[in-house]
Amino acid sequence: MADTIYPKLIGARLRSQMSYRASFAMDFLTQVIAQCYELLVILILFTQIHALGGFTKNEVLLMYAFAGAAFGVADLFAGQLDNLPTYIRTGSFDVLLMRPLGTLPQIMCSDIRLRRIGRITGGLAVMGYALANVPIDWSPAKVVLTIATPVAGAVIYSSVWVVACSTCFWIVDGREFANAVTYGSNAFTSYPTNVYSRPLRWVMAYIVPGAFVAYYPSLALLGKQDPLGLPGWVGWTSPLVAALAAAAAGLVWRFAVRHYRGTGS
Amino acid sequence: MLAGMTTNVVFGLLRVAILVAALKAANGEIADYDVAATNTYVWIGQGLLGFVLLWGNNELAERVRSGDVVVDLYRPWHLQGALLAEDIGRGGYAFLTRLAPPAVFGMLLFPFQFPAHAHQWPLFGVSAVIALVTSFGVRFLVELSAFWLIDNRGLYGFWNVTSGLLCGLTVPIAFFPEWAREVLWMTPFPALLQAPIDVFLGHGNVVKLLLYQLFWAAAVLAIGHFALQRAVRKVVVQGG
């Protein structure tokens, strides 16, 4: 049953958004600009310096682009989780539990905002530019890696989103905490991981596996040594990390939902 | 509140890391910013962000859209003045809850550049208050645009995504290329964040900075006043 319902649900959401064309165009543009914000920051910094953490401008742009495109996709599917506190507070989460469908996919399909494609577009454009301007020794495996990286990154970000928002089942007003992790890890992964201090790196690069979104795959593509000392094959493990993160997120979500008690009517 | 502070501190840590890495790449100093000055810049900036309330809640615009603004206009007050008073009151509370915590966090845990002269402290206070008034003025204009646009969420979103760069929150304006610096200092935006930070750090001429801020505070308030007068003429109250 679920395989026919979700396409219909998503189709309905998309049609409703396209009916306000001007408003959609404005929102879309704002998202492209939001994506360019970090790009401008990088470009401004590189008017003052030639390398950041040992990486050139175009290499940093490649990491930023991977992170941006992956975050855009994750935002498209998992961004709705930001509304979870409202669902819980108003009791409409009970409605989701009543339906014979998974709660997580229901929320993810509840409010897919097409304007978020603006972010993805921005990320992909910079990715194209960066890939054309960094020295990469291309091989079929690297082509696969280039395509797999934003996908794996999107899965990692989405998992982070699910875990972070699961805290809202305990802390009803936990949205800002969650945003510190989700938006924070987007900001974190846009730069080479080796520029951060050790504690920050442990939390944001390995516990939250942010380093696997853009940093390690970029190292593998560029054929560069990791200044932090991990071996070269780590750059190829992002899809595995993504699968592990998704599994962990699924477990956390189940655990959280099982502990959910309605707020009553 | 605790949640907001966590977000604020996390982003502060990330910004410090990036800027300090950039300093390392540039032999320790960029445009008068060394490690201590950069830490101070970030933590004072993270504090001011909540104090001047760079990103408002667009509440007035929503009231314009829904028509509730009629009630506000009915009352025997000057709407702009009343909201400004409210915002200054909010600032008093935000000083303790939003400005002080990240600043103290930075002072205790990071190399910090305290003002070289005692008189810089009160001057920073004055500058921060003018920044708050200017920030209110700019937000008021963004919200007032709802009288013409009805749905100002596009403009509001635009302000939210660009203000961080224009006001010098993410990267010190001194790091910008010269032409961008010159253009930005001709706009009111650096008055919201960069100017009070400069007063604290002792960058630039204090008198000039304060005069620049005063000019723009007065200008945006005056524009807001006239815009409100024009907007009110557009309001049609339907009875019933």
Residue A244 buriedness (CB in 10 A; 0-12 / 13-18 / 19+): middle
Q: Which helix (H) or strand (E) holds B36?
A: helix B35-48
C-alpha distance from residue B113 to each of A148, B13, B35, B38, B46 (Å): 45, 17, 9, 9, 16
Instruction: Give residue-wise pLDDT tens across range B41-54.
Output: 999 999 999 999 98
pTM, 2 dp: 0.88
Of A23, A47, A191, the CB nearest to B177: A47
User: For B148-196, what is each residue's pLDDT tens digit?
Assistant: 887 787 788 888 888 989 999 999 999 999 999 999 999 999 999 999 9
> Alpha helices, DSSP H only, in chain A?
2-18, 21-48, 57-78, 84-90, 93-98, 103-110, 117-133, 140-166, 175-189, 198-201, 215-222, 238-258
pLDDT of res. B40: 95
Distance (Å, rounded) from C-alpha B225 to C-alpha A103? Answer: 50
Nearest CA in chain B to A54: B25
Low-confidence residues of chain A: pLDDT under 50: none
pLDDT of amino acid A89: 82
Q: What angle do CA B52, B53, B59 make, to 5 degrees?
A: 135
Over the stretch B81-137, which tens digit does the pLDDT of each residue have?
999 999 999 999 999 989 999 999 999 999 999 998 999 999 999 999 999 999 999
> What are the structure tokens assigned to A247, written together?
């599994």
ipTM of the complex: 0.86
Place of tokens 């009288």: B147
Residue A264: predicted pLDDT: 61
**Residue B3: CB atoms within 10 Å:** 16
CB atoms within 10 A of CB A94: 15
pLDDT at A167: 87
Q: Is residue B103 classed as helix, strand or coil in its secondary structure?
A: helix
Residues of A in contact with B171 (CB under 8 A): 41, 44-45
| Domain boundaries along the sequence of chain A | 2-258
In this predicted model, what pLDDT tens digit does every residue of B54-67 receive, in sequence order? 888 888 888 888 88
Phi, psi values for residue A52, rounded to 5° = -120, 115
Smallest Cβ–Cβ distance between A45 and the set B4, B14, B22 belongs to: B22
| Nearest C-alpha neighbor of B147 from the set B240, B237, B67, B221 | B67
Q: What value does the mean pLDDT take over residues B138-155?
A: 86
CB contact under 8 A, B165 and A180: no
- Chain B neighbors of A187, CB-CB under 8 A: 11, 14
